[in-house]
Amino acid sequence: AQSVSQHNHHVILSEAASLELGCNYSYGGTVNLFWYVQYPGQHLQLLLKYFSGDPLVKGIKGFEAEFIKSKFSFNLRKPSVQWSDTAEYFCAVNPFYSSASKIIFGSGTRLSIRP
Amino acid sequence: GAVVSQHPSRVICKSGTSVKIECRSLDFQATTMFWYRQFPKQSLMLMATSNEGSKATYEQGVEKDKFLINHASLTLSTLTVTSAHPEDSSFYICSASRTSGGSPYNEQFFGPGTRLTVL
């Protein structure tokens, strides 16, 4: 079945540790890819997006993600996390064959940062 | 820019009553609005897609008679949960999209969500 998979449900890190959250999708063809963040009690915010071009995209707050087409992956990275990065992170996919705006979310990864 | 609001932010109702949730794009005209449902510690599940002036498109498994969507204008969509039951308790989130100059993808902007509790 077509899906978006985030294999890490809960990640716990210490401040200054490096972060990598995995995301794989199973949609064929061209896709647009996103990472969203949901801080406690707040609404979803777009961290970064990939439409085309350089597969390494940089987003807000020092986050970046790399699109590897052969692996159907779009992993999120940050070299040094901060306590304020504690949040829920969602990978999302917009398959080109779907409507122009429809996006499918992964199950989310809860990131907890120890001060 | 691109602010989306929802009202109310929280509602508690008795079983069997109907609840209406509003979603507004405050500073842009939304070509399409989406309604999602989020269970605790889970992802957003798309319920339906609505375009102004036309019937909403519901995802498989979503009861259209249960979750009525009206998209009366380019800045307002409403979701009515009819004859609500405790299992309808959830976090409902809307998003609105607008054209992104030249891009075939229309970026979505999310509202803050509405927490529905059915007693």
Tell me the per-residue pLDDT of B19-55, one tens digit each, with 9 for 90 and over. 999 999 998 888 889 999 998 777 889 999 988 888 8
B93 min Cα distance to partner chain A (Å): 9
User: How does the average pLDDT of chain B come out, rounded?
Assistant: 89
Nearest to A44 among B31, B32, B110 (CB): B110
Which residues are paired to B77 by β-bridges? B23
What would the mean pLDDT of B81-109 be, rounded to a whole number? Answer: 83
CB contact under 8 A, A102 and B103: no
Contact A39, A85 (CB under 8 A): no
A104·B103 Cβ contact <8 A = no
Burial class (CB in 10 A: 0-12, 13-18, 19+), B72: exposed
C-alpha B100/C-alpha A48 separation (Å) is 15
Query: What residues of A are in contact with residue B107 (Cβ under 8 Å)?
Result: 46, 49, 101
| A63 three-state secondary structure | coil
Longest dimension (CA), chain A: 44
User: Does pLDDT of A16 surpass 60?
Assistant: yes
Residue A69 has phi, psi (to 5 degrees) of -60, -40
Q: What is the pLDDT of residue B48?
A: 93
* B-interface mutation test, from A44, A50, A52, A105, most B Cβ less than 10 A away: A44
Q: Looking at beta carbons, which residues of chain B come within 8 Å of A90?
A: 43-44
Contacts of A99 in chain B (CB under 8 A): 32, 49
Q: How far apart are CA A68 and CA A62, in angstroms?
A: 20
Query: pLDDT band at A22, cuts 50/70/90?
Result: very high
pLDDT score of A29: 80
Q: How, if at all, do strands A31-38 and A45-50 pair?
A: antiparallel
Taking the C-alpha atoms of residue B104 and residue A102, their distance in angstroms, rounded to an integer, is: 12
In percent, how much of chain B has pLDDT > 70?
92
